[in-house]
Amino acid sequence: MTCQWQTGLLVPQPCEMPAMGGCSLCGRSLCMMHTVSGPNGPACPTCANSNQGYEQNEETELESSRSSYYTQYGGANYFTNRDRQSVEREEVEGYDEFET
Amino acid sequence: MKLKDLSPAARLAAETQAIRGEWEYSAFDQLLKDLIAYDTVMDARVAFRKKWMIVAIILAFVGLFVGILVIDNGDGEAGAAILVGGIVHMITTIVLWRKAKKQALPENALAMLQQLFRQVRQDLDTKATIRVNVDLSGPTKAKCGPKQVLPPNGFNSREQWVYADPWCQLRFQLRDGYKLTLRQVDQLIELRRTRRTSRGKYKTKTKYKKLCRLTATILPPAPVQWAGQPKVDPTWERLRVAKKKGLDVAVLDRWFLYKEKFERPKQNPSGADAVGMLYRLCSMRPAEAK
Ligand SMILES: [Zn+2]
Ligand SMILES: [Zn+2]
């Protein structure tokens, strides 16, 4: 098994490192680098970002910006279905509210 | 972090207030980190020297009266020393404050660059470098156009100065061969209005406006049929699709407006704003490129 995490923001690409385990929340297999520890067991950055109590690292921060760009700009037909499901969460504020 | 503690690259950038050349991501990120740390020290120095200057101005005034009193009491030499000493001290603090102010860097611009590349780091073509041409000196006198005299519109006079600052040009390549460019041009507008009050005094007020224009471009490695148009805000954005040297390019402009009543606006678009633009341009790539 290889890691099913997608790296990157503008050019998403599967990680493909050997998987060491899986996300205890969504089940996808993960390498060491993309496993985040927290109260509900090891999780992928998406689940760590949407669940309380998980440590924040570069990957979870990137995931948080990735999902905000997705909700703000629709993401076109840009994400795979699995990723679309994973990022369709709470709405973020409109991107032009800081203009006023 | 002081100037002498900086790496040679950061020192050069701080001294010339510019970043130029071809950069690897990690070296560029380190440079920005160093410059932000340096600027934090510089900002603290500016704040300290400003306080010192205010105290010196008060002391100079006190010295003026004390000096005159002492001269009146017959000790001309001591009086003159107090008087002149206070003024020299005041001028010194003003000079030092202005010097520190000139050394400080625009922290919001640095933060934008840092956030932008931290977010797209994994998308960069590792074999290519980031081409950087960044001017951090801000709206200097050299960037100011001629004084414009506007119709008074109920005031006694309205005068305007416009600074044009094309401070940022970036170009980098993604892992899929697409090239992205980002350019920012700032326009600082200072409007000075003079009004005569009912008591016959003239009162002058200056208003500050900063209009930033961010332009992002996507260049495909070969001619493409764009997949579609991304979401564009009709008020603040404009999307153009054109051909350049036989290649299909897409250009997204976004304007940002900041206003201040008492000083020049320091705000700048964030790195996330810039990435949001690049993100949408990238969503125009045809399916096989994704
Ligand atoms: Zn998960
Ligand atoms: Zn992985």
Considering only CA atoms, give the Rg of chain A: 14
pLDDT bracket for residue B153 (50, 70, 90): confident
Residues of B (234-253) whose Cβ lies below 8 Å from A: 235-236
In the reported structure, the alpha carbon of residue B165 is separated from the centroid of ligand 2 by a whole-number distance in angstroms of 42
In the reported structure, the alpha carbon of residue B280 is separated from the centroid of ligand 2 by a whole-number distance in angstroms of 25
Average pLDDT, chain A: 75
Does the structure show a pLDDT above 60 at B12?
yes
B283's tokens:
């969503």
Sort out which chain A residues have CB atoms less than 8 A from B180's CB and list them: 10
Chain centroid offset of residue A70 CA: 11
For chain A, give the percent of residues with pLDDT over 70: 73
In the reported structure, the alpha carbon of residue A94 is separated from the centroid of ligand 1 by a whole-number distance in angstroms of 26
- Any A CB within 8 A of B125 CB: no
User: What is the pLDDT averaged over residues B50-79?
Assistant: 92
The DSSP string of chain A is -B--PEE-SSS-EE--SBP-EE-TTT--EE-STT-B--TTSSB-HHHHHHSTTPPP-HHHHHHHHHHHHHHHHTTTT-S-HHHHHHH--SPPPPTTGGG-
Nearest 5 degrees, angle CA B33-CA B35-CA B39? 120
CA dist., res. A45 & res. A30, Å (int): 10
Sort out which chain A residues have CB atoms less than 8 A from B119's CB and list them: 9, 62, 65
CA dist., res. B128 & res. B170, Å (int): 13
pLDDT bracket for residue B1 (50, 70, 90): confident
**Residue written as tokens 């130029």?**
B20
Instruction: State residue A74's pLDDT score.
Output: 63
Sort out which chain B residues have CB atoms less than 8 A from A12's CB and list them: 290
CA dist., res. A76 & res. A83, Å (int): 13
pLDDT bracket for residue A79 (50, 70, 90): very low
* Residue to substitute from A11, A87, A92, A96, interface B, most B β-carbons within 10 A: A11
Cβ <8 Å between B233 and A62: no
Give the nearest partner residue to A95 out of B122, B276, B278, using CB atoms: B276
Sort out which chain A residues have CB atoms less than 8 A from B123's CB and list them: 8-11
B206: left (phi over 0), alpha (psi -120 to 50) or beta: beta
Does the structure show a pLDDT above 90 at B112?
yes
pLDDT bracket for residue A75 (50, 70, 90): low
Distance in Å, alpha carbon of A56 to nearest chain B alpha carbon: 15
Cβ <8 Å between B233 and A76: no
User: What is the pLDDT averaged over residues B46-55?
Assistant: 95
A74: left (phi over 0), alpha (psi -120 to 50) or beta: left
Ligand 1 (single-atom ion) residues, CB below 5 Å: A 23, 25-26, 44, 47
Nearest 5 degrees, angle CA B246-CA B250-CA B254? 150
CA dist., res. B182 & res. B169, Å (int): 6
B142, B146, B152, B155: CA torsion to nearest 10? 30
Which residues, listed in sequence order, are joined to residue B148 by a DSSP beta bridge?
B160
ipTM for the complex shown: 0.81
pTM: 0.85
- Any A CB within 8 A of B176 CB: yes
Sort out which chain B residues have CB atoms less than 8 A from A76's CB and list them: 227-228, 230, 280, 283-284
B204's tokens:
């002058």
Pairing of strands B237-244, B247-260: antiparallel
Q: What is the 3-state secondary structure (H, E, C) of chain B?
A: CCHHHCCHHHHHHHHHCEEEEEECHHHHHHHHHHHHHHHHHHHHHHHHHHHHHHHHHHHHHHHHHHHHHHHHCCCHHHHHHHHHHHHHHHHHHHHHHHHHHHHCCCHHHHHHHHHHHHHHHHHECCCCCEEEEEECCCCCHHHECCCEEECCCCCCEEEEEEEEEEEEEEEEEECCCCEEEEEEEEEEEEEEEEEECCCCCEEEEEEEEEEEEEEEEEECCCCCCCCCCCCCCCCCEEEEEEEECCEEEEEEEEEEEEEECCCCCCCCCCHHHHHHHHHHHHCCCCHHHC
**From A98, which residue of chain B is nearest by alpha-carbon distance?**
B256
In the reported structure, the alpha carbon of residue B8 is separated from the centroid of ligand 1 by a whole-number distance in angstroms of 44
Sort out which chain A residues have CB atoms less than 8 A from B233's CB and list them: 95-96
Instruction: State residue A64's pLDDT score.
Output: 86
pLDDT digits (tens, 9 = 90+) for A2-54: 999 988 899 988 888 999 999 999 999 999 999 999 999 999 999 998 888 99
Cβ <8 Å between A73 and B275: no
CA dist., res. B6 & res. B273, Å (int): 29
Cβ <8 Å between B233 and A96: yes
Query: Among B276, B217, B214, which residue's Cα sits nearest to residue A10?
Result: B276
CA dist., res. B98 & res. B93, Å (int): 9
Cβ <8 Å between B236 and A12: no
Q: Do residues A44 and A20 touch, judged by C-beta distance below 8 A?
A: no
Instruction: State residue B198's pLDDT score.
Output: 87
User: What is the pLDDT averaged over residues B197-203?
Assistant: 89
